[in-house]
Amino acid sequence: MISMKWIAGLAFVAASASLFAPMSHAEKRNSVPATDDDIFLALRDAVRNNDATKAADLASRLPNYSIPSYVDYYRLKPRINAAASDEIQAFLTRYQGSAIADRLRNDWLLELGRVRNWSVFDEQYPKFVLDDDLQVKCYALMSKAAKSSNVAGEARALLTAPQNYGEACPALITMLVQEKQFNADDVWNQVRLISESGYASTVRRMTDATGVPEAALMQAIEKPEAVIKRGIGSGRIAHELFILALGRVAKNDTSKALTALTAAADRMSAQERAVAWSQIALQSSLRLEPEAVLFWQRTDGAPLSLDAQQWKVRAALRAGDWKAVKAGIEAMPASLRNDVTWVYWMGRALKEEGAQEAAQKRFESIADQTNFYGQLALEELDRKITVPPPPKDPVTAEEIAPMAANEGFRHALKFFELNLRFEGVREWNWQLRKMNERQHLAAAEYARQINVLDRMVNTSERTREQADFNQRFPSPFRDTMRAVTQKLGLDMAWVYGLIRQESRFVQHARSHVGASGLMQVMPGTAQYVARKLGLSKFSVAQMNDIDTNIMLGTNYLNMVLTDLDGSQALATAAYNAGPRRPRAWRSTLTRAVEGAIFAESIPFSETRGYVKNVLSNATYYAALFEGKPQSLKSRLGMVAPKDFVPSDLP
């Protein structure tokens, strides 16, 4: 994803995988519904607008639609708060075992939690198959607490992702305060976590839990400079608001926050100072300031969020302080410490201190994983990255036939035809839950046959014992790609690695901000590149043409690669976040660092994951194309400040 996508602040969500419909249903939606498909799309829109009357009218016009379960769902969904329990139960019984029934149960559980109907909630919650909604989990703990169960420990472990809190999780926190299961430390830890995550509206919902007037609480969030200018004040609440404001000020001006903390430090307890330093250290780390590693040294005893604990280690990685890297990982909770990322970096820290055997054990434990850090671990074990052999017995036509007959897959394909990608993916993945590895391979091969390559990739990636990398790493349009990349002198494996991450080969993919096609090229970027190439007759309407999209995307990628001194790590980041940001991130380095350290310390989580995935993909593509072992470390290279010259060795 290219620069303008990050400016819009939206993660990539493909809106279309239509490989079957020559016309755009999205365009038809603005006109009077004509066909059943048009009526169905209008019905979906009515439900999204919570228009129950219109939804009922449109649903009545679809008595024989090809996916009746969704017509019935859309008829019921906007009335979920008023519908009788018997009506909802009838739907769940009629479509028992389907993806849409589980979706309706999710909706119903949210409503039951909202009205605190714990008896029916407790009856329905064990039947919620996916159980992937944080709000539902928060309501489940509220139900347990309402029956005098102590759920404080479960709540602390659960409440780590404020972006998904909604109404339920702040309500849980408030309830636990009232039940004396949460104390003031718990509450203010949550307020700071929410503030760190940038969800001001959720902080408003914490008013009752904090006992602070909303205006005072929000002033620390929205007008923090006024709070620190006023000084720290006295009492727990005043001190907490001051510390909260320090973190907000540090987002934009570390020095101003440091000045305020220095002035107030002698009126704070040692614990409060540690917490205050953690607020500044986190923001300084996100700004990639070299001083961040020093700020973290003053945070001993401060409760750190999961994000803060990781940034404490990332700051140490950038500084080359392997002792601090090791200590930071050891301080992480087991759930985080055992993540492949931190297993790898712990291995590296152990290796740096000479504990070779312990380091080897860490690397061995993850070397079988086909991800960025699994690949790096292989190289630490002096092995190169190769492609495993395909399954000995290819899937047969007899194994593929049930996939073509699968009703859920047929629903998914219908949704893809309608450009309803979210619903299509949900239906497809629901079917995969019931399948073994052999069936996953067969489903992936069926997806290949019908040219739904993103489902082929994602389905094939579910296998562990039988891995088919030709399914996982497809390379369509090879002739076009070879011609373009050879002309530019561009690494074709890298381009395919990028496309795999960008669009998963959905040819008509379109992001929320207008990026189009295989390489997800933004309209403005396309026009810029077209002008550079002298394409006077180019129009944005051509962006989904395969050859044009590849030509524009590869030329833009080559431009940023040239601008960033041939570094694939930097250029990949630039393709996602825009060229200025990687240049700024590189400028904060005080020394040359491994490409893996640069990637790990990218301050945008989307771009951080993107760079790792693209270069991991590219390494496997190179192994497939060249038929020989590869090195991810070599591809990552070193990243240094512009015009960096290493000091002469003595």
286: which 2 tokens? 């996100």
Nearest-5° Cα angle at 386, 383 to 392: 125
Q: Are 591 and 348 in contact (CB under 8 A)?
A: no
Count Cβ atoms below 10 Å from residue 503 Cβ, excluding itself.
27
Tell the residue number behind the tokens 């494996």, with chain if given.
Answer: 493
526: which 2 tokens? 């396309």
For residue 593, list its beta bridge partners: 639
Q: Residue 595 carries which side chain, given as an amino acid letter?
A: G
d(CA 341, CA 508): 33
Query: Long-range contact list for 25-34, CB < 8 A, 24+ apart?
Result: 25/418, 25/419, 26/419, 33/58
Q: Are 306 and 338 in contact (CB under 8 A)?
A: no
The confidence score (pLDDT) of residue 511 equals: 66
Residue 16 pLDDT exceeds 50: no
pLDDT tens-place string over residues 230-282: 999 999 999 999 999 999 999 999 999 999 999 999 999 999 999 999 999 99
Mean predicted confidence (pLDDT) in 280-292: 98
The confidence score (pLDDT) of residue 196 equals: 94
The three-class DSSP label of residue 45 is: helix
The confidence score (pLDDT) of residue 568 equals: 98
Q: Are 250 and 257 in contact (CB under 8 A)?
A: yes
Q: Sort 30 into a burial class: Cβ within 10 Å, 0-12 / 13-18 / 19+.
A: exposed
Mean predicted confidence (pLDDT) in 153-170: 97
Residue 311 pLDDT exceeds 50: yes
The three-class DSSP label of residue 315 is: helix
- Greatest Cα pair distance in the chain: 84
How far is residue 304 from each of residues 299, 628, 631, measured CA to CA in Å? Answer: 9, 44, 36
Residue 339 pLDDT exceeds 80: yes
User: Please, what is the average pLDDT of the chain?
Assistant: 93
**Residue 456: phi, psi to the nearest 5?**
-60, -50
- Which H or E run includes 594? strand 593-594
Of residues 28 and 456, more confidently modeled: 456
Q: Residue 85 carries which side chain, given as an amino acid letter?
A: S
Question: pTM for the full model?
Answer: 0.93
Q: Are 413 and 424 in contact (CB under 8 A)?
A: yes
How far is residue 520 from each of residues 497, 506, 546, 564, 607, measured CA to CA in Å? Answer: 13, 10, 11, 21, 15
At 589, the pLDDT band (50, 70, 90 cuts) reads very high
DSSP state of 638: E
pLDDT tens-place string over residues 103-129: 999 999 999 999 999 999 999 999 999
d(CA 18, CA 34): 20
Residue 20 pLDDT exceeds 70: no
Nearest-5° Cα angle at 352, 349 to 358: 65
d(CA 269, CA 9): 38
Q: Is 9 left (phi over 0), alpha (psi -120 to 50) or beta?
A: left
Q: Is 529 left (phi over 0), alpha (psi -120 to 50) or beta?
A: alpha
